[in-house]
Structure 1
Amino acid sequence: MIIRAAIRSDLGAILRLLRDLGDSTPTQSGTVRMSSAAVRAWTRIETDPQRTVLVAERRGQIIGTLDLIVVANLTHDAQPWAIVDNVVVDAACRRRGIGRALVEDALNRAGEAGCYKVELLSHESRTGAHAFYRAMGFENSAEGFRRYI
């Protein structure tokens, strides 16, 4: 297995994985339709030097993904911080170290970018994911709030 930055041809596989987060509706064939909005979003993502979508690939198959965003900052001596989001491993491949490898790669990249912290949010119902993040050294140190628009 390799962890690498995603490329445009990975988009369909990434969208398939992200379906597990509940944001996409599969078509009758079970695939996720690649909308023009998703393609436009991908174009913005791939041209943003502060954003990296990582994929875990095994034998040509994308089996995991993670989104890493480095945020410029004015506090902490202007050190940036990072956000990890959209962490997903294919259901058939879980509990094999794939998520760990993705998160470790993201943490390494954040460290190389000079980040002083990495934050992530996980829905309160995802208790298994919370145990995973704690095992990776993340602490539940803040209460998060969202307002959907």
Structure 2
Amino acid sequence: MTISVAPATLDDAEDLAALMEELDTYYQAPPVEELAVRVAQIQRLLFGPTPVASVLLARDGARLVGMASYSYLWPAAGVTHSLFLKELYVSAAARRRGVGRVLMEHLRTVAEERGCSRVEWTTDQENTEAQTFYDALGAHVHDGKVFYRTQIPSS
């Protein structure tokens, strides 16, 4: 397997939408939108006038095998900023082949190039497979925060 990583472009929207559907299946989320709707959302949210996130894509040749979606948080430590990894996902067929590690290395490079003070992320408490992976990277659990969420009703 030869893995290449590059930022997602507008031309990647359909492949990314299909991978996001696989991700939803992994998390046992019910299908929400048709592929065409997902593609349009990705085009608007990632490549529209106000992008809400950035995405790195991992490919094995032409086949999309993984993604890392991230944004920046400010403030982090003092008045610095951090790179926040929202989602790291590797296609089931490509797991345990180094794709996640390569994506994490690229994220760290992006953070360093952007002058971030740290890289941060969360994982579900039940996702022990992800926790084992992050532990193997040398990451440490930061238990100094409690995670909150409020829902915004759909219009």
Q: TM-score range by the shorter chain?
A: 0.7 to 0.9
CA distance in 1 between partners of 2:13 and 2:99 (Å): 19
Give 3-state SS (helix, strand or coil) of 2:35's partner: coil
Give 3-state SS (helix, strand or coil) of 1:35's partner: helix
In the alignment, structure 1 segments of 5+ residues that lack a partner are none
Q: Quote how far apart the aligned CAs of 1:147 are.
A: 1.9
Q: Counterpart in 2 of 1:139?
A: 140
Q: Quote how far apart the aligned CAs of 1:75 are.
A: 4.5
Q: Is the 8 A contact 1:55 1:66 kept in 2?
A: yes
Give 3-state SS (helix, strand or coil) of 2:64's partner: strand
Of residues 19, 31, 43 in structure 2, which corresponds to 1:25?
A: 31
In the alignment, structure 2 segments of 5+ residues that lack a partner are none
Q: Is the 8 A contact 1:5 1:55 kept in 2?
A: yes
Q: Counterpart in 2 of 1:115?
A: 116
Q: Deviations over 1:48-100 (max 9, x none)?
A: 57842000011211110001212232742x21111012111110010000000
Residue type matched to 1:59 in 2? G
Q: Deviations over 1:96-141 (max 9, x none)?
A: 0000000110011011111111110111111000111111122111
Matched residue pairs, number?
A: 143
Q: Quote how far apart the aligned CAs of 1:148 are.
A: 3.5
Q: Counterpart in 1 of 2:128?
A: 127
Please report the TM-score for the alignment, with normalisation by the length of structure 2.
Answer: 0.79
Q: Is the 8 A contact 1:122 1:130 kept in 2?
A: yes
Identity rate, percent: 23
